[in-house]
């Protein structure tokens, strides 16, 4: 992790310095923008790779406490409202009455929800609805996120949780292919389960967590 991050941090810092300089050649400014974009993507890939390694080897530390799932979901939706609206995506939320409590690590659980909403923002068909449902069952809490995919999946839904697997051809230029794998390991560390289902272009992701 250190060997990867140290030179990358230097690259990003020098790109930021270049952005503050006056460029007389318009091509130079264009090249700096490309360097900035690609270095930030490499930074995200490196962070995801390290996080995926920690999660899959059991090194990821989990500090469970009483968390209000409804509140956490509201906060996450608030974070994504602007980006979803840019894609003309409408969120339809169904939440059980009253707060839904779970014992979880709020930071990691946030990452799971954030990843599911991020996938919707990137890959859902514009002008469609995203259905988010939070329900309580016997000893468990279930979160589901359903969207209409912009493109058909090129792999079975159950393979989406594997590392470096992307479900659409267009995804080769976005993300790292690690988000859902990290989410799966986080959920497993909470003694829960996560899975995906796909039917007629509609993809649904389910996260099931124990109440205690």
Q: Give the list of residues 6+ apart from residue 89 with CB closer than 8 angstroms, or none.
A: 120, 121, 124, 126, 127, 128, 129, 130, 147
pLDDT computed for residue 124 by the predictor: 92
pLDDT computed for residue 117 by the predictor: 94
Q: Give the list of residues 6+ apart from residue 96 with CB closer than 8 angstroms, or none.
A: 70, 134, 135, 136
Alpha helices in the chain (DSSP H): 2-19, 26-57, 69-86, 106-123, 179-189
Strand-by-strand arrangement of the 202-210 sheet? 90-95, 129-137, 140-148, 202-210, 193-199
Pair 151, 128: CB distance under 8 Å: no
CA distance 84 to 95: 19
pLDDT tens for each residue of 155-203: 666 667 665 555 544 444 455 567 788 888 889 888 999 998 888 888 9
pLDDT computed for residue 157 by the predictor: 65
pTM over cut 0.85? no
Kindly tell me the sign of the dihedral angle through the C-alpha atoms of 19, 24, 30, 32: negative
pLDDT computed for residue 172 by the predictor: 47
pLDDT computed for residue 35 by the predictor: 93
Could you read off the pLDDT tens digit of each residue along the chain, which spans 212 residues? 667 788 888 999 999 999 998 888 889 989 999 999 889 888 877 877 777 777 667 667 788 899 999 999 999 999 999 999 999 999 999 998 888 999 999 988 998 999 999 999 988 999 999 999 999 888 899 999 999 988 877 666 666 766 555 554 444 445 556 778 888 888 988 899 999 888 888 899 999 999 87
pLDDT computed for residue 175 by the predictor: 53
CA distance 67 to 50: 26
pLDDT computed for residue 188 by the predictor: 87
Q: Select from 170, 168, 175, 164 the least CA-distant residue to 198.
A: 168
pLDDT computed for residue 80 by the predictor: 94
pLDDT computed for residue 171 by the predictor: 46
């Amino acid at each position: 992790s250190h060997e990867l991050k140290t030179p990358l941090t230097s690259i990003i810092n020098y790109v930021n310095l270049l952005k503050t300089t006056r460029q007389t050649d318009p091509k130079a400014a264009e090249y700096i923008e490309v360097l900035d974009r690609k270095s930030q993507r490499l930074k995200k890939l490196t962070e995801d790779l390290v996080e995926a390694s920690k999660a899959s080897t059991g090194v990821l530390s989990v500090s469970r406490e009483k968390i209000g799932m409804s509140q956490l979901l509201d906060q996450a939706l608030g974070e994504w409202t602007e980006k979803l609206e840019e894609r003309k995506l409408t969120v339809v939320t169904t939440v059980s009455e009253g707060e839904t409590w779970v014992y979880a690590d709020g930071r990691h659980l946030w990452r799971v929800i954030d990843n599911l909403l991020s996938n919707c923002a990137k890959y859902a068909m514009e002008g469609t609805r995203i259905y988010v449902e939070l329900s309580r069952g016997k000893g468990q809490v279930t979160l589901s996120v359903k969207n209409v995919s912009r493109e058909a999946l090129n792999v079975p839904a159950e393979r989406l949780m594997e590392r470096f697997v992307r479900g659409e051809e267009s995804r080769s230029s976005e993300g790292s292919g690690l988000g859902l794998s990290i989410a799966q390991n986080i959920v497993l560390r909470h003694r829960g389960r996560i899975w995906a289902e796909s039917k007629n272009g509609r993809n649904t992701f389910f996260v099931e967590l124990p109440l205690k």
